């Protein structure tokens, strides 16, 4: 199963303070919009999303159809295919994509330790 580009989405208390902290670790702003309370930072192949007030927990995020630079790749496994494989493995999904649609969609599941996993396809 190919899940796509990986990042971690962090629930932060103060976007500015978190941004400054991660910049000291060598990350730089790659995307996002501070006026909407989120920024995407990158350090080589590592991607971190900083989200203030958007969700309760940190989230492991995978983006089918994207590389680590958020560029669309020509061949990828659609999130609906991934969803069916997870269902076939008897995993419980917290949120499912409509299997009758195409294009952007997402699914959510939770690992055994309570960590949310978002598989979020943008293309």
Which has the closest alpha carbon to 80: 105, 59, 55? 105
Reported as a single tens digit per residue, the pLDDT across 54-71 is: 999 999 999 999 999 999
pTM of the model: 0.92
The predicted structure's pLDDT at residue 71: 95
Distance CA 31, CA 110 (A): 26
The predicted structure's pLDDT at residue 9: 97
Q: Which domains does the chain have, with CATH numbers?
A: 5-121 (3.10.180.10)
Reported as a single tens digit per residue, the pLDDT across 60-101 is: 999 999 999 999 999 999 999 999 999 999 999 999 999 999
């Amino acid at each position: 199963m190919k899940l796509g580009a990986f990042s971690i989405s962090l629930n932060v208390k103060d976007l500015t303070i978190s941004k400054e902290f991660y910049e000291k670790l060598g990350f730089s702003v790659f995307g996002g919009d501070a006026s909407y309370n989120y920024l995407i930072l990158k350090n080589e192949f590592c991607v971190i999303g900083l989200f203030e007030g958007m969700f309760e927990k940190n989230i492991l995020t995978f983006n089918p159809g994207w590389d680590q630079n958020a560029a669309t790749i020509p061949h990828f496994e659609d999130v609906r295919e991934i969803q069916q494989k997870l269902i076939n493995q008897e995993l419980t999904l917290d949120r499912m994509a409509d299997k009758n649609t195409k294009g952007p969609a997402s699914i959510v599941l939770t690992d055994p330790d309570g960590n949310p996993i978002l598989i979020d396809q943008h293309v």
